[in-house]
Amino acid sequence: MTKSRRKWHAETKACANIALAKYWGKADIPLNLPAVPSISMTLDGLVTETRIRVDETLDADRVELDGREATASESKRVIALLDDIRRRAKRREFAHVVSRNRFPTAAGLASSASGFAALASAADHAYELGASDRVLSAIARQASASAARSIYGGFVELPAGKPGQKSLAAKPLFDADHWDLRIVVAQTAKGPKKVGSTEGMERSRETSPFYDAWVAKAPAITKRIRQALRKRDLDTLGAAMEQSTMAFHACAMTAEPSIFYWQPATLAAVHAVRQLRDEKGLSVWCTMDAGPHVKTLCHADDARKVRAALKKTEGVLSTLVAKPGPGVQTR
Ligand code: DP6
């Protein structure tokens, strides 16, 4: 192979994750460091597949997302991540990136976590950097903090960052087989969210009177969640996850102008979950991210009942069930 025709390939699969303890707010904007610690469960089957080919005949990076050319703003974070990998690998060639989300439409989930985790690992291989998972997690975190967690499978913690802490990375807490939990997702609306998480958390930090209280309280909530995971205590975990959810949504709602992610079907699903707890005695708990969909947490044995109840809930468009999944896989 002559040098001018040389190409380097890689193909990666990364799973989405759901935060049990929420990340909302930044300690350092240029380095994208979270102001609070978060803990997530990586979700099996909700996968982004990313192929990358380094090609020295290209005169710019090319990015395709879900079968179309990426917009300039979508490409910006992708190129910033590629630049970071190239700088570390001391390489200059551009790359062709093709990324596809294999999420069922029912997922209603953001793809930035799985997308940037997949991209970091694929680019690491294609540019022959050979970085550790820890370094890849820090690289992915700079693109989107939740992506730092999708490098690992099972249950994962991303600590809060201190300003300037460039190397902040997530760390695996427990493997996927630690506990047979399920996330049952209730999709409550179609289309993209109105205020993205990056913008939503910035507006909350700048204007919500509750933001400082959230940042002060989040470490204690995260600690309860970590301990409950260790002890496999679902009632404690679920209650703390709901508190984390409501506290960050309270920040968003009280920002100026207010950010209101919930739809009527969101609230209907939250009440359906409470009814399952109060009337049927199920240990089932809910969480919502920067959008209207409701994700419920329960034991595998209860997932069918929870799904059936959510399917019957007014305004719920579709549902799916996910178990704890693996970390990034690259070839
Ligand atoms: C509500 O990771 O999307 O889903 O770092 O600005 O890209 P950026 O934000 P992002 O925020 C996720 C916020 C959340 C909670 C969570 O996943 O922890």
pLDDT in tens, the chain (331 residues): 334 445 699 999 999 999 999 999 999 999 999 999 999 999 999 999 999 999 999 999 999 999 999 999 999 999 999 999 999 999 999 999 999 999 876 666 778 999 999 999 999 999 999 999 999 999 999 999 999 999 999 999 999 999 899 999 999 999 999 999 999 999 999 877 789 999 999 999 999 999 999 999 999 999 999 999 999 999 999 999 999 999 999 999 999 999 999 999 999 999 999 999 999 999 999 999 999 999 999 999 999 999 999 999 999 999 999 999 999 999 8
Q: Ligand 1: distance of its center to the CA of 305 in Å?
A: 29
Query: Comparing C-alpha atoms, which of 247, 201, 199 is closest to residue 222?
Result: 247
Same domain, 15 and 98: yes
Residue 270 falls inside a structural domain = yes
With contact defined as beta carbons under 8 Å apart, do 147 and 19 qualify?
no
Residue 329 falls inside a structural domain = no
Same domain, 146 and 222: no
- The boundaries of the domain holding residue 292 are 178-322
Ligand 1 atom nearest residue 22's Cα: 18
Which three-class secondary structure state does DSSP give residue 41? strand
Residue nearest to atom 6 of ligand 1 (CA): 198
Same domain, 243 and 259: yes
What was the pLDDT predicted at 3? 45
Same domain, 308 and 260: yes
Q: Ligand 1: distance of its center to the CA of 25 in Å?
A: 9
CATH code, domain carrying 31 = 3.30.230.10
Domain end marker among 114, 143, 176: 176
Strand partners, 157: 39, 171
Distance separating alpha carbons of residues 98 and 70, to the nearest angstrom? 10
Distance separating alpha carbons of residues 49 and 331, to the nearest angstrom? 11
Same domain, 167 and 202: no
With contact defined as beta carbons under 8 Å apart, do 138 and 167 qualify?
yes
Q: How many CB atoms sit inside 10 A of residue 56's CB?
A: 15
DSSP 267-330: HHHHHHHHHHHHHH----EEE--SSS-EEEEEEGGGHHHHHHHHHTSTT--EEEEE-B----EE
Domain end marker among 124, 148, 176: 176
What was the pLDDT predicted at 6? 56
Residue 200 falls inside a structural domain = yes
What was the pLDDT predicted at 108? 67
What was the pLDDT predicted at 12? 98
In the chain, the number of structural domains is 2
What was the pLDDT predicted at 1? 37
Q: Ligand 1: distance of its center to the CA of 67 in Å?
A: 24
Same domain, 167 and 19: yes
Same domain, 17 and 160: yes
Parallel/antiparallel/unpaired status of strands 294-299 and 38-55: unpaired
Q: Which residues line ligand 1 (CB under 6 A)?
A: 19, 22-24, 32, 38, 112, 144-146, 197-198, 289-290
What was the pLDDT predicted at 103? 82
What was the pLDDT predicted at 182? 98
Question: ∠221-227-230 over CA atoms, to 5°?
Answer: 145
What was the pLDDT predicted at 107? 67
Residue nearest to atom 3 of ligand 1 (CA): 197
Same domain, 19 and 76: yes
With contact defined as beta carbons under 8 Å apart, do 246 and 286 qualify?
no
Strand order in the sheet with 285-287: 285-287, 294-299, 181-187, 318-322
Q: Ligand 1: distance of its center to the CA of 143 in Å?
A: 11
Residue 61 falls inside a structural domain = yes
Same domain, 208 and 172: no
Same domain, 137 and 215: no
Residue 296 falls inside a structural domain = yes
Same domain, 163 and 271: no
Residue 330 falls inside a structural domain = no
Distance separating alpha carbons of residues 147 and 43, to the nearest angstrom? 13
